[in-house]
């Protein structure tokens, strides 16, 4: 009787120890930190393959409905279907409410495009978010005397054809023409007023280009020509003329001025012509 009791006690202890020990598949020495240790160098674990209908339906496609509250939190399946809001891949059940609700959550990878980029950002072929793209809403970048903003590595520009960026009183960026003077007088020219005449013409732009493009003398080291605008980049104005000598009838968009000579000129007779950069 005593021997039977001893054997029974040993058996009971052994069962208890086995009950709380680790399970090893492919190993006789499962890791002590795990409840299940699966080891193999030639095969993997095959997760159940299920066709889900969507992320919120707790009934597995084609299976008997399971009360949602009885689905185990973190249940893992491999979804084989692509419909509604599910695509092929691994999903786990996430319990949202302890009694009534939950949803299937996909385990994402780099091919799933889980990150979106808008408003001046893009995702490149390496799935990195980079600058570039259209703005979808008014956007501001706040700087301070300490946290400044700089753009480096810019190319050398052309102060005639390039644009410059300015801001209005609200800090909104805008583009204007280059930083050269926006208003300047046309260089001096001589108009033939030796005889009275009507319908005479002079090409203001050609006269300007001739003088600025081929100056007679320049300082040491100066370029051989002065930067000029194209005729389409300018507005042409006659701001004053001697009314006893001239009658200006028109100036076209290309800078061709038409005028009449109506009187004899004196040493004080002149005309002012102004160019304005568009």
What's the whole-number mean pLDDT along residues 100-120? 78
- Who wins on pLDDT, 12 or 127? 127
Q: Which residue has the higher pLDDT, 81 or 61?
A: 81
Give the predicted TM-score (pTM) of the model.
0.46
Please indicate whether residue 143 or residue 58 has the higher confidence score (pLDDT).
Answer: 143
Beta bridge partners of 59: none
Tell me if 125 sits within 8 A of 106, measured CB to CB: no
Largest CA distance in the chain: 151
Sort strands 102-106 and 121-123 into parallel, antiparallel or unpaired. unpaired
- CA angle 159–162–165, rounded 5-degree value: 100
Between 246 and 120, residue with greater pLDDT: 246
Distance CA 23, CA 140 (A): 59
The model's pLDDT over 236-265, given as tens digits with 9 standing for 90+, comes to 999 999 999 999 999 999 999 999 999 999
8 half-sphere exposure, CB direction, 13 A CA radius: 5
Among 215, 211, 213, 207, smallest CA distance to 254 is for 207
**What gap in Å lies between CA 78 and CA 58, rounded to an integer?**
15
CA–CA separation, 138 vs 96, rounded Å? 36
Written as one string, the DSSP assignment of 149-165 is ----SPPP--TTT-EEE
Q: How far is 271 from 237, CA to CA, in rounded Å?
A: 11
Domain ranges in the chain? 2-38, 49-112, 183-215+226-277
Q: Residue 111: pLDDT above 70?
A: no
User: Comparing 1-10, 15-24, 51-60, 255-264, which segment has the lowest mean pLDDT?
Assistant: 1-10
pLDDT given at position 165: 86
Pairing of the two strands 76-79 and 49-50: parallel
Q: Which helix (H) or strand (E) holds 20?
A: none
Mean pLDDT, the chain, integer = 84
């Amino acid at each position: 009787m005593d021997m039977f009791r001893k054997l029974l006690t040993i058996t009971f202890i052994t069962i208890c120890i086995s009950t709380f020990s680790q399970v090893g598949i492919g190993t006789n020495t499962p890791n002590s930190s795990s409840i299940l240790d699966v080891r193999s160098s030639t095969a993997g674990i095959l997760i159940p393959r299920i066709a889900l209908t969507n992320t919120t339906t707790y009934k597995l496609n084609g299976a008997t409905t399971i009360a949602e509250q009885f689905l185990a939190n973190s249940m893992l399946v491999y979804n084989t279907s692509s419909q509604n809001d599910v695509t092929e891949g691994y999903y786990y059940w996430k319990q949202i409410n302890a009694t009534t609700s939950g949803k299937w959550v996909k385990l994402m990878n780099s091919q799933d495009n889980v990150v979106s980029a808008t408003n001046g950002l893009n995702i490149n072929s390496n799935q990195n978010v980079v600058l570039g793209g259209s703005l979808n809403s008014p956007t501001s970048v706040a700087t301070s005397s300490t946290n400044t903003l700089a753009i480096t590595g810019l190319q050398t520009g052309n102060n005639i054809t390039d644009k410059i960026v300015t801001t209005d009183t609200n800090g909104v960026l805008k583009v204007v023409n280059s930083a050269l003077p926006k208003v300047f007088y046309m260089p001096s020219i001589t108009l033939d007023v030796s005889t009275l005449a009507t319908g005479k013409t002079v090409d203001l732009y050609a006269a300007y280009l001739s003088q600025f493009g081929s100056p007679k003398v320049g300082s040491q080291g100066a370029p051989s020509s002065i930067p000029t605008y194209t005729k389409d980049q300018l507005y042409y104005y006659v701001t004053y003329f001697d009314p006893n000598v001239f009658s200006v009838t028109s100036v076209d968009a290309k800078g061709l001025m038409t005028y009449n000579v109506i009187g004899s000129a004196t040493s004080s007779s002149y005309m002012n012509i102004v160019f304005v950069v568009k």
